[in-house]
Each structure stands twice: as C-alpha cells, then as structure tokens.
Structure 1
C-alpha cells in the first residue's frame, strides 16, 4: 500500500529533503506551503498522515489543527518546529500529535516515524485537547539537549508514571518537576517538594509518612506527612540519593503497596500522589557500595530524565542570560542588555555551577553594571572574581598549594611513563624530610616520630635520597 502524506512546509529546501526521505520509505508526498492550501486539499482528498511546520505564511500550524481534526479526525499528525521551546513541545503534544520534531531533526527518524504513524490506527495515543499552556513556563532552552528533555516531559503529562530526574547540581531538576506538575493532569493539586538530604535521619519517616499522637517523645498531636499533604498532586523527593537506608525501605514499601502508614499508626492510607524524584548522584555506585537499595532504584527509575549540564548546552547560555536579565528587571533590578560580544564571552565559560551559577552571575552583573548596555569590559572583572571564589568541583578535595605544585612538577619534570609514582614520591619526600629535619635540628628520632614512620625507614629513605641529617644539625 502506498502511503499518502501531506507535507505543509514553506521552506523549499527542507521540503525537498523531507520529500526525498519519505519517497525512499515508499510514501507518496503532496507538498503545500500554506494552511489555506492544506485545508482545500483535505476537503477533497484523503491522506494517511500530515506533516506540518508551525510557523507558516498564513498562520500557526498548531493553532489551526482544529480544522484538520474536523475534516480528518483519525489522521495522525507529525509536527515540525524551529521554535524549540517547552511551550511549543507541550502545545504540539496537547493537540494529540503522533510526534513532535524540533529542528534540526534526524531526517531518517522523521521518515520512519511518519510511516509508523500512517500505519497506526487512529494516529496512536492521542491526547485530549486541553488549553493548559500558559506564559512563564519554568524551563528555558532551545538546544538539542534540552529538546530531549522537553520531549520526555510531554510524554509523562497524561499519566502518573514515576519520574527520576538525574543531573548535576544547578541544572534545574526541580524546575522539571514543577513543569511536569504544572502542565500535567495533577496541576489542580498541590506540589510538595522535600529535600530528603536536609531532614535529620531520625525525623525523615515522620516528615514523609506522618505520625500519630504519642508515637514518640514530642509527638503531642497527629502530624500529616508529605505524602498526605501532596494528595491529589505531586510529591517531589529531591536529593533521593542521600535518603537514609531505613527511610528507603519505607519508601519502597509505599511504592509497592500504594499505601502508607503513619509512624505509630495502625491504619493503611491509600496514596493519591505522583512521585517525582531527583538526585545529583550516580546511583549505580551508591547501589554497589550498599548505600542505596537496588529495588528502590528500579521503582523510581520508571521514566528517567537526564538534565544536561550547561557546558553541554552552550547554545542556551545567551537565551538564558536574556531570560535572567528580564527576570531581574521584573524583580526591581535595573533593566540591562548584553552586547553580542558579552554574550559570546558568557557562552565560552565553563559554568560548573550550571544554570544556578549563571543566574546568580547575571543578577550580580545587573546590580553592579553602571550602563544599561553591558559590554565585555564589565563582564571580565566579574568573571575573574567568580573564578577566584570558585569552590573545588563537587566530590574533589579542595584546591591547594600542594595540588598546584604537583601540576607544575608534572609539567616541568615530565617523568617517563611507568616511573611517575616513584618519581613523584621522591620529589615529595625530599622537601618533606628536609623540612622536618630542619624543625628537629637533624634529630632523626624526633623526625621519625613527627612523620609517624619507623626510624629505620626514615634512615633508609634519607640514604636513598642523599640527605645528610648532620647538615640540618649544623644549621
């Protein structure tokens, strides 16, 4: 069977590529450039699938899909868009579109998807047409990495599947959780966020599951936990990788049974809540080390969403910077703009603190800049200040003079491969022993005690390093 596809695209070069890919898949493509041509064709001809851009010469391809649904209610629709925002992704999904492709897209994947859509009954799992898109969506970004995030978000809006958001600190994991709640079918309910790493281990069960009066010392009244507070809405469990093991067991039982029991209670309470969890840790090593339950991981990891670090979405830095400038102005700070050169400079930075660091920097820049137009000369000094105050990377030791010295030694000595460890030990031991011997006036017994090593070991190493303790005694 030949698949008849209607393509609505006003860019001839894009249309040509799509046409060729679909023909290679055995489809017959009819190409038009306007919505008016689309509607005239649909009134007199049947198509197996519609592929449409959003911004067209005579209107919005998404807003006008109501006409298409009236004329061809069962025809699957694939939407293309260069407006790569979460707003567009959600609008496309809410129309009941079979798939949404942000530009640039993989042309072969598009062709396969269109053919799959044409072969599906009724266009797949169409979503109800609801007007839920509002201004002020919490996520900003048009990079390919963020498009993957947006597409994953749209897939969980009409179900209650558990979501696990993974990513470094400052990437916006809580914003993803908020977007899932605000745009999903539980938006009328509460959004309750809890940082599981910030609650003392002895209180976390009470905070999550609640407690009955008299359950423990200080429990003077019944307390409703976060699960009950979030009833009908979304419970966001942040820093889940740091949750104490005992609480992990209780959480697993709650997810398995769909019920909770307050501390000191006898009654099982049926859950009515969507669970979204997040962590900046890689949970596989935590599982291997016995600090995180493997069965809980699989319960939480139903739909994983990976938040990319800012260094992997540099195309978004300028967009984010403009967004934060506008946000700062709305909060009472002066209204500023960045010159193109200043924007490029920001895009070249590493931003180890990710979006959170960029936001704080833009707010500081807005406050301290003297002119409405911010140029490179204003940005550079603040970048230097930020670099000097930058903490060591998370999970690494603090930067120190020793670390700097080692780097410099490696660059200057360039020890041969296979000898680096021995050479480094020798390079470190010699000045270390000399310093201690200088403090002890060459007394080897006191030096060995200070170093915490055996005197014979010290004597052997001094001989190998050609260090004479008598020289330090004379000094």
Structure 2
C-alpha cells in the first residue's frame, strides 16, 4: 500500500478529493456511487485486472484514466487499446512523473459548475429569455404601473410578482390570492372584506385583502377564474382607488398596487367571456409573458442543479445528477414547468440509492432524441423494413456513399447493399435526404452489373 498512500498524498496536495478501492469489486461499488474526474487504475488487482474494469464499466465519459503497472514495456500495448487512457506510471512510485501527470490532467477536466446560490428573487435560469424577464422586473418595479403576467401553470408567475413588490420600495405587505381557489360566493368578502352581520355567518368584521395590502402589492393569480360579475366591482375599485366592504355603507380609500396573472392567453380569455376586456386593459398597463420551460432548455439543468443543491444543503449530502439523468431532463417537455421540475428532482433525490441521481420521467412527454450524423432514432412500432431502409441510407451517408465500408459496419455484403438499393428503386421508396435519388439510381445500376 506504499504506492497507494504516496499517490493519495500527492493527489490531495494538488486539491484532488481521493477515494481508494483495493479491488475490482470495490472499485465497481465506488464508481456506482461517485462520478470521478481521474481514475488511477492498477493493472494487477487481487480479483482481476484493472483493464477489465475499464472495458466493462462506463466511467461517465469525463473520467481520465492513468494506469499503474510494474512492467515498463507495456506502453506500446496500451497505446493500441481504444480506451480513455491519459498515460501510465510504473512502480515504484516516480513522484515527479506522477505529479506531472495529475497537473496535466487538471486542465482537461470539465470546468466546475458555478456556485448555485439562491437566484435573484428566486427567478432562476441563465437563458436570454429569463434575463429579459429580470430586466423587465427591474424596470417596472419602481413605477406604479399595474402589471399583467401571462404564463402556463408552474412557470413562476407569483415569484415574478413578489420580485416586483420587493424591488418597488413599497412599505406595505405583498398579499396574494388565487382567484380560482376561492368559492365565488366568498371571493368578494376575501377581496373587499365584510361588516358584522352582513350575511349568515358574518359574526365579526373582516378586513379584506385590499386593506391588508395597503401601501403594498396585491397579487391576483388566475384572474380569468374570477366571476365576471365580480370583475365589474374590481374594475370600479381600481378606477376609484376605493373599496366598500360587503354590508358596509362607506367607501374606503386604498393605496394598493395590482399585479395580476393568468395561465391562459388573455385573447382567449376575453374571446371566451372569462375576462372583461376593459378590466384587462386597466390591469395590463405593463404586460409580461413568462415562457414555458420547454422553450428555454438552457434553464433546465441549472434549475435542476439548484433544486438538488438545496436538498444537499438541507440534508448534508453531495448528490449529483447522472449524465443519463441530465439527458432525460433535457428531453422532457415539462408540461408542469418549474413546479414539476422541482417535484421530479425531489422524488429522484429521495429514491436515489447512492450519490448519483437519475430522475424517472413519463415517456409520453419525451422529445425524440435529436439525430446527428452518426445517430438515428426510431419511434416504437416502426416497421422493420423501414428501420432497415433508413439505417442503410444513414450509414451510406455517414461513410460518404462508400458501400464497402457501410457493408463492413452493417455486417452484410456489398452485393446485399446493391440489391437493397435496387429493390427500393423498384418499389419507388424515397431515399433518405442524405443521399439524392441520383445516387440510388446510379448505384443500383452498378449493382445490376456486379
């Protein structure tokens, strides 16, 4: 263990966190628990070869490998292997060389993610779209303009409303109500208050939300769910800056800024009769639109990591998203937006059996994997003949129409490729976009002469 201790001390001195495994089995367990930047692997371990570990375990793509060997003649053999090997060191420990290898590996490591503190007023996401939202909040907050926010459920409309209040300098409270969550017969009393005895059960005076928000901001969420007859009373209160409690006889002056929101386009709400047009224009002195999460993919992973960091901080853990998990998050359509992302991350964190977190997501809302020059995707249920046809044309395109190379990779003969091209031509099956029809005709003709 002298070599191991020396290597660990050198690595720690260079600010590496060190995990030690004494066998292939132990290493497998460690790899399942932790993502590594550099792996120092001995070719000779008690229960097998370190090469077996590299050949059978996905180290995550980012891991750089330094092999340990007692045989200085293995260099040429190692270079012939298609493994992610940075270099090798020979026993006994050569301190200067090992330190040099680690120092050389460090610049190739992925840059650490920036520290994820709480975002500005909770409005998270580095995308240009969210930068624009934050800029709008900064601009409108110091004014008295009424703000109308449109956006799907879960995009963070209340966070934006609270940020507007926080940046406004208003001394009163931020008061929020979901107009769709309060029964219609109680909503008037909730907003404007009521006097004692004004209706059955009104045993005492109730101060409504307008008065509670005096000098502050009242956030009316899901405004289009408010009964239309009540919208008339709301419009009058906004125009006169006065309210009257239910059962009351006096008007009460109020100084309240209104921020309202809806999860449906205002045009649809107006056309369907759910939102009065005159009320909309009174409330939308400064309209804002919050884009859904699926339209700003650059925000998905940073926000997911933010939620994961909060859980790690709360429970004293160091869990990270796996590459597979990150890919799933990027492909998901997020119908529930940020609220759904938060729930998904929390569930994955709770169910994780190690420090590597892979969320489980509904397949029906997955985007298809984007194809590249070297990849191809199929929808479940695609007929086999169509899969074979697309695979053939994709492979030919990848190898610049080199049929010998394509045949070798596909495990078929060149003659088979020519025969397939001829059959596609005879059946008038369209070629893939990557190869023109002329290519198919010419090659099929050549195949007929083979």
2:197 corresponds, among 214, 232, 248, to 214
CA distance in 1, matches of 2:335, 2:184: 30
**How far did 1:145 drift?**
1.2
Is residue 2:311 matched to residue 1:337? Answer: no
Question: Aligned in 2, Cα 1:261/1:310: closer, same or farther, shift over 3 Å?
Answer: same
CA distance in 2, matches of 1:305, 1:354: 17
Is residue 2:171 matched to residue 1:175? Answer: no
**How far did 1:313 drift?**
0.6
1:310 corresponds, among 290, 293, 312, to 293
**How far did 1:333 drift?**
7.4
Is residue 2:90 matched to residue 1:139? Answer: no
CA distance in 1, matches of 2:160, 2:338: 13
CA distance in 2, matches of 1:273, 1:330: 38
Determine if contact 1:325/1:335 at 8 Å carries over to the other structure: no
**How far did 1:343 drift?**
2.1
CA distance in 1, matches of 2:135, 2:281: 22
Post-superposition CA distance 1:213-241 (Å, at most 9, x none): 11111111111000001112111101101
Determine if contact 1:334/1:367 at 8 Å carries over to the other structure: no
Determine if contact 1:138/1:178 at 8 Å carries over to the other structure: no
1:37 match? none
Gaps of 5+ in 1: 1-83, 88-133, 391-406, 409-475
CA distance in 2, matches of 1:328, 1:308: 26
2:139 match? 155
**How far did 1:335 drift?**
3.6
Q: 4+ residue runs of structure 1 moved beyond 4 angstroms?
A: none
Post-superposition CA distance 1:370-422 (Å, at most 9, x none): 12133xxx33xx12xx347x8xxxxxxxxxxxxxxxx99xxxxxxxxxxxxxx
Post-superposition CA distance 1:22-43 (Å, at most 9, x none): xxxxxxxxxxxxxxxxxxxxxx
Is residue 2:187 matched to residue 1:204? Answer: yes
CA distance in 2, matches of 1:331, 1:247: 44
CA distance in 2, matches of 1:332, 1:267: 54
2:176 match? 193
Is residue 2:284 matched to residue 1:301? Answer: yes
1:362 corresponds, among 336, 339, 345, to 345
Q: How many residues align?
A: 254
Question: Aligned in 2, Cα 1:332/1:351: closer, same or farther, shift over 3 Å?
Answer: same
Q: Which structure has the larger Rg over C-alpha atoms?
A: 2
Between 1 and 2, higher relative CO (CA 8 Å, sep ≥ 6) is seen in 2
Q: Name the SS for the 2:122 alignment partner.
A: coil
**How far did 1:364 drift?**
0.7
Determine if contact 1:339/1:373 at 8 Å carries over to the other structure: yes
Determine if contact 1:334/1:366 at 8 Å carries over to the other structure: no
2:237 corresponds, among 254, 261, 267, to 254
CA distance in 2, matches of 1:177, 1:350: 25
**How far did 1:273 drift?**
1.3
CA distance in 1, matches of 2:347, 2:316: 10
Q: Name the SS for the 1:236 alignment partner.
A: strand
Q: Name the SS for the 1:276 alignment partner.
A: strand
Normalising by structure 1, we get a TM-score of: 0.50
Normalising by structure 2, we get a TM-score of: 0.53
RMSD of the TM alignment (CA)?
2.6
Question: Aligned in 2, Cα 1:333/1:278: closer, same or farther, shift over 3 Å?
Answer: farther
**How far did 1:334 drift?**
4.1
Post-superposition CA distance 1:413-439 (Å, at most 9, x none): xxxxxxxxxxxxxxxxxxxxxxxxxxx
CA distance in 2, matches of 1:333, 1:142: 26
2:331 match? 348
Question: Which residues in structure 2 correspond to 1:425-464 (within 5 Å)?
Answer: none
**How far did 1:332 drift?**
3.2
**How far did 1:137 drift?**
2.4
Is residue 2:304 matched to residue 1:321? Answer: yes
CA distance in 1, matches of 2:260, 2:127: 24
Gaps of 5+ in 2: 1-113, 366-380, 383-450
Is residue 2:259 matched to residue 1:272? Answer: no
